[in-house]
Structure 1
Amino acid sequence: MIHGISGRSPRPASSVGPAQSSPFVPDYVRGITLAGAAALVGGVAWSGDPLTLPFALAFPALWAWSPSRLIAALVSAGYFLAASRGLPQGVVNYYASDLWPGLLLWIIASLSFVCVHAAMWTRQRGWGRAVRYLVTVVLMGLPPFGIVGWAHPLTAAGVLFPGWAWWGLAGTLVGLTMMASRFWPAAVISLGVFWWTAVIWTHPVPPTGWRGVDLALGQRLGRDGSLDHHRELIAMVRREAGEEDRIIVLPESALGLWTPTIERLWRAGLEGSDITIIAGAAMVDAKAYDNVMVAITAESAQVLYRERMPVPFSMWQPWLAWTDEGGGARAHFFANPVAELSGQKIALLICYEQLIFWPVLQSMLHSPEIIIATGNSWWTAGTSIAAIQRANAASWARLFGVPLVVAFNL
């Protein structure tokens, strides 16, 4: 009877869920609630424990439930800032500065993520938003936006679908898309079932004969170029190598500046053994430097890998080339996705490359047999950054069923 008197049609139910505005819940209250929930999701998912990574799959639902573009931006900011919360303290540690530069860089780094997610949000509910979120996932996974595409939800694929390889990645992508649609309850149930299988999660291990050696040399690593320091490292490596260990992996920057003198010193130090050392170094020329991983034996030495994506701002500073000042690390982007050593294909990920999406996926296209993840992470003290790097590398290794060798300096 009321319908007949008013002459108005009843308002259709939302095809997404809580995104529909309600006269009883103002949009600003909904915005604060959704942004707070997104921050909680980001903080829990990116805690450094691989088993918490699937919490990130709740983010697309929160984004889709946003009743306006502004709230979608706030939700995205809450998620990203919580996930990357260690950055301000890391900047303080690295530059020995106060907190303000770190906070400024933290906010600047979030702009790409927030702007892309805000721009792709639409008032069209249902599959309209779901398809747009799918596009957003791709945009944040690949350059240029993927250069700062931290906290990518697809990283959880290795926890949900260990050993499924590309099928597992596709399944996670479908789940993310459904989370941004009106079918999100079905997605929660389906992904939850696979998440439950994570109780049998086991960390990937190095292959037989390989060993990653963690160091605790702090800022000294890579900066102490004395011959005595290198002799200490050589002696340590020979002590650490067990009877079956033939390939020893050391962290990023372990060798400092790579020079003919350092090469001769390490080769001489390995005489009488069949050990191969894989270690980080820097190769400098008049214009810039390369962050590399080298392989050394008593007979020879070679550059295995040149970093595709150094840390933006602190290492990769392309604007220096535009001003002819020189300096900064080169980004080799899509070069050398795999290296070959002793007839085996190896995917190498140095530090920052473990935090973003595209380097490991590019490497996996070439079917590597081993993943090596290294970092010189002394500057992450007091944060969860190094733990997140390890968790990401472990998730990718488990997804593709590839052995993992890890070596960090803290």
Structure 2
Amino acid sequence: MRHDWLQPLALAVASAVSGYLGWSGSALALPAAIAFPALWSMARSRRTASVVSAAYFLAASRGLPQGVAAFYQSDIWPGLILWLVASSSFVFVHAAFWSRDSGGWKALRYTIAMVLMALPPFGIVGWAHPITAAGVLFPGWGWVGLAAVTAGLASMTTRYRPAAAMALVGFWLWSAAFWTAADIGRHWQGVDLNLGNSLGRDNSLARHSDLVATLRLKRRIDTTHMLLPESALGFWTPSVAHLWRQQFTGTDLNVIAGAVVVDPEGYDNVLVRVSATESEILYRERMPVPGSMWQPWLPLIGKSGGARADFFANPIVSVGGKRVAPLICYEQLIIWPVLQSMLHDPDLIVAVGNDWWTKGTSIIAIQRASTEAWARLFDKPLIMSFNT
């Protein structure tokens, strides 16, 4: 009887440790998540597989309750509820595809679970996906590296797991010994801000003037494109576009910044580009944050509002003759947006976020680590800009 509860408890604790360490905010720690499929496969019942899955996901996403409480300026309970609800998709998929069978059949079932958690609809909350470790294990390998880590994770569910684990850990140690950060795009510059929750809410002339002054102060001599965080320009209107164009008269500077485009049906979270001579909406976010931004149930109850999700739209955009893969905030935590963009072989990746609400959590560090891992996997320059 004692053995009956000790084994599930040990698996759950080990799974929680795997999630906690893997998603600690360091890119080099991401491969700790490769232990999860082995622990999942060693469960002797569907119930234990569910507990193991929940332990991993809840530990990996531990910053969510505090972040939600800060975002809504409320107590911890809404965050705890969302934390548990968000884990349900991960637990459901991994419980449904768990099997007592072993060998190739179990590996296939885990592979299907991986794919489901990478794509909509389950992939909408597909955080903490172990496949993100590919960028650390196989930097520069691209799609071959992605295939290799997929095969390695699947092998972790079979009797070959000791050999698979040794191979993956070997690649991990080799990568850690020679790790270099993703290159910064030539002539590009990301600017981090520390404006808290006022960014995007203060649309005064003074705020816009301060942002322009910040860009001028921080601009390097060789910079032609500067990146500002999500929501930096607030509501994007013809007046705001005209104001920013005026500020750069006589210069060759292009600014890419976050903004919001509002209409009677809702709004789009976007990136815009503005220079002395022109301005344009560059990119519409494919997957806004579910719940706080994307609220697909509103039309069902006869209401409008919420951010639109463009899912598979505009995976790359053209800026200055370069093919750019944009990732706004939440898109850095899930799988399909970056892989869809990589299918188009972009020249560089730009990542922005307005993360004032993550203070005291590891969320922003996880976003940075995840995006850096993808950039290293596909050997793409990476430019980032965050507000805290």
TM-score band, normalised by shorter chain? over 0.9
Q: Give how far 1:131 is off.
A: 1.2
Q: Which has the larger radius of gyration?
A: 1
Q: Give how far 1:127 is off.
A: 2.2
Bigger CA drift: 391-400 or 128-137? 128-137
Question: In structure 2, what is the Cα distance between the partners aligned to 1:178 and 1:352?
Answer: 30
Q: How does 1:138-287 map to 2 (within 5 A)?
A: 138-198=115-175, 199-287=177-265
Question: In structure 2, what is the Cα distance between the partners aligned to 1:379 and 1:180?
Answer: 37
Match of 1:409 in 2: 387
Gapped runs of 5+ residues in structure 2? none
Question: In structure 2, what is the Cα distance between the partners aligned to 1:385 and 1:147?
Answer: 17
Question: In structure 1, what is the Cα distance between the partners aligned to 2:186 and 2:169?
Answer: 34
Indicate yes or no: 2:275 matched with 1:297: yes
Match of 2:23 in 1: 46
- Residue 127 of structure 1 aligns with an amino acid whose one-letter code is G
Where 2:15 maps in the other structure, the secondary structure is helix
- Residue 303 of structure 2 aligns with an amino acid whose one-letter code is E
Indicate yes or no: 2:344 matched with 1:366: yes
Where 1:26 maps in the other structure, the secondary structure is helix
Where 2:326 maps in the other structure, the secondary structure is strand
Q: Give how far 1:128 is off.
A: 2.1
Give the count of matched residue pairs. 387
Once the two structures are superposed, what CA deviation does each residue of 1:232-253 show, in whole Å capped at 9, x if it has no partner?
1111111111110110000000
Q: Give how far 1:398 is off.
A: 0.3
Question: In structure 2, what is the Cα distance between the partners aligned to 1:237 and 1:382?
Answer: 27
Indicate yes or no: 2:293 matched with 1:315: yes
Q: Give how far 1:123 is off.
A: 1.2
Superposition misfits of 4+ residues, deviation over 4 angstroms: none
- Residue 379 of structure 1 aligns with an amino acid whose one-letter code is W
- Residue 299 of structure 1 aligns with an amino acid whose one-letter code is T
Once the two structures are superposed, what CA deviation does each residue of 1:322-351 show, in whole Å capped at 9, x if it has no partner?
222100000000000000011110000000
Question: In structure 1, what is the Cα distance between the partners aligned to 2:338 and 2:313?
Answer: 12
Q: Percent identity?
A: 56
Question: In structure 2, what is the Cα distance between the partners aligned to 1:343 and 1:402?
Answer: 16
Gapped runs of 5+ residues in structure 1? 1-22
Match of 1:5 in 2: none
Question: In structure 1, what is the Cα distance between the partners aligned to 2:269 and 2:356?
Answer: 17
Question: In structure 2, what is the Cα distance between the partners aligned to 1:220 and 1:188?
Answer: 47
Bigger CA drift: 204-213 or 370-379? 204-213
Question: In structure 1, what is the Cα distance between the partners aligned to 2:335 and 2:48?
Answer: 26
Q: Give how far 1:196 is off.
A: 1.4
Q: TM-score, structure 2 length as denominator?
A: 0.99
Of the three residues 289, 298, 306, the one matched with 2:284 is 306
Of the three residues 60, 64, 74, the one matched with 2:37 is 60
Question: In structure 2, what is the Cα distance between the partners aligned to 1:27 and 1:73?
Answer: 16
Once the two structures are superposed, what CA deviation does each residue of 1:15-41 show, in whole Å capped at 9, x if it has no partner?
xxxxxxxx7x52222111111110000
Indicate yes or no: 2:348 matched with 1:376: no
Indicate yes or no: 2:37 matched with 1:26: no
Q: Give how far 1:125 is off.
A: 2.0
Q: Give how far 1:97 is off.
A: 0.3
Where 2:298 maps in the other structure, the secondary structure is helix
Once the two structures are superposed, what CA deviation does each residue of 1:79-104 show, in whole Å capped at 9, x if it has no partner?
00000000000001000100111100
Q: CA RMSD in A?
A: 0.8
- Contact 1:27/1:67 (CA < 8 Å) preserved in 2? no
